[in-house]
Amino acid sequence: MPRPSLEVADVIRAAGESFVDRSRAWFSWLHQKVLNAILACRTAALGGHVDECSRCGYRTISFNSCRNRHCPKCQAGARDRWLAARRRDLLPTRYVHVVFTLPRELAPLALHVSRQRAEAALTRGLITGKFLAYKAKKRRRTSEYNCLFPPC
């Protein structure tokens, strides 16, 4: 697989220092640790090893990865496996993903609501979605709306 022309580490090298300076109010040492890991990933800074083909003897140097869960290089395989698993879960139809969000003030309450109240809120979302689907149908656009309640 060919390397991309621009990587996240390149962006961090180009703008990271000014970004950190502008973000001092909320930027923590954990954020800095992630940026440092991404910068060092698969470079000589983390060391490396020699890979050799057992058939032809061809040798190449491979640099070690940071294995940070936020690193796009290290987590690309895991992300691809997760996406493939989600694709297998989809029904053979066109999807539109709609998210209903709560105002920030209500977010703490969402952790303590019962299943019945959560279903009532989702039902309101379903009614809204059906209304939007009805409006789309009146404009001669095909639309269906289904709501799946996640298990608690």
Interval 26-36 mean pLDDT: 92
27 belongs to a structural domain: yes
Structure-block tokens of residue 77? 């395989």
130 belongs to a structural domain: yes
Same domain, residue pair 83 and 96: no
pTM assigned to the model: 0.53
Q: Tell me the C-alpha distance between 97 and 147, whole Å.
A: 11
pLDDT digits (tens, 9 = 90+) for 65-90: 999 989 988 888 888 899 999 888 88
Interval 125-141 mean pLDDT: 73
Q: Tell me the C-alpha distance between 114 and 103, whole Å.
A: 18
Q: Tell me the C-alpha distance between 11 and 152, whole Å.
A: 40
Same domain, residue pair 65 and 110: no
Per-residue confidence (pLDDT) for residue 152, from 0 to 100 = 43
Same domain, residue pair 101 and 142: yes
